[in-house]
Amino acid sequence: MNLTMKKSKLLIPAPLLALGLLLTTSACTAPAPQNASEASGTADQSDSIIGEWTMTTLEFGTGGELQQVPFSGQIIFTDAGTVSVQAMNPDTTAPDTPYTVQGYEAFYGDAAIDADAGRFSVAVESAAARDLIGQTLSRNFEVTDDTLVLTPVDPSEGWRVTYERATD
């Protein structure tokens, strides 16, 4: 039996070939999901707080009457489980508080996030107001879209901070 194979050319237009190559390399280089919630397309509430947030308002007051004060700042929650806070009152002659020195607040430490309770705690390792070092600070949080609102666990402290997710 004599079998001969006939050679044939496969002609693919260059634009179609380029598109196929692009789709193939894109599919091969897509990042793998990091966890089960990412693979399923749903985000855990604790994941939603991770990132850099820019302060939009800081309010103080008692009896539910909060007044906006002129602060600016940011808070950063890392994947590694740390949080850092910086906030500044433009009035450098403002009296010191348990959290501020010359109108500046800064602290850093390991964070524990309880998404179900809407609460996180930070074990302060470093702070501008040195008396904070060694303390554990707890805050309520709520993330809605790209807005983060922090409130005290003890409502009598009378404050609320609102942040917007920082974008690149």
Architecture of domain 45-165: Beta Barrel (2.40)
Q: Give residue 17's pLDDT.
A: 29
pLDDT at 44: 53
Domain ranges of the chain: 45-165
With 0-12 / 13-18 / 19 or more C-beta atoms within 10 angstroms meaning exposed / middle / buried, residue 59 is: middle
CA distance 93 to 8: 85
* Overall pTM surpassing 0.75 (yes/no): no
pLDDT at 126: 98
Residues 6+ away with beta carbon under 8 Å from 116: 45
CA dihedral 73, 163, 51, 74 (to 10 degrees): 0
What tens-digit pLDDT sequence spans the chain (168 residues)?
444 434 433 333 333 323 232 222 223 333 333 443 343 333 455 679 999 999 999 999 987 789 999 999 999 999 999 999 999 999 888 899 999 999 999 999 999 999 999 999 999 999 999 999 999 999 999 999 999 999 999 988 999 999 999 987
Output the pLDDT for position 92.
82
Q: What distances in angstroms separate CA 64 from CA 56, 60, 137, 159, 163, one per listed residue?
A: 19, 9, 22, 9, 20
**pLDDT the model gives residue 4:** 40
pLDDT reported for residue 60 = 92
DSSP tag of 141? E
d(CA 112, CA 122): 6
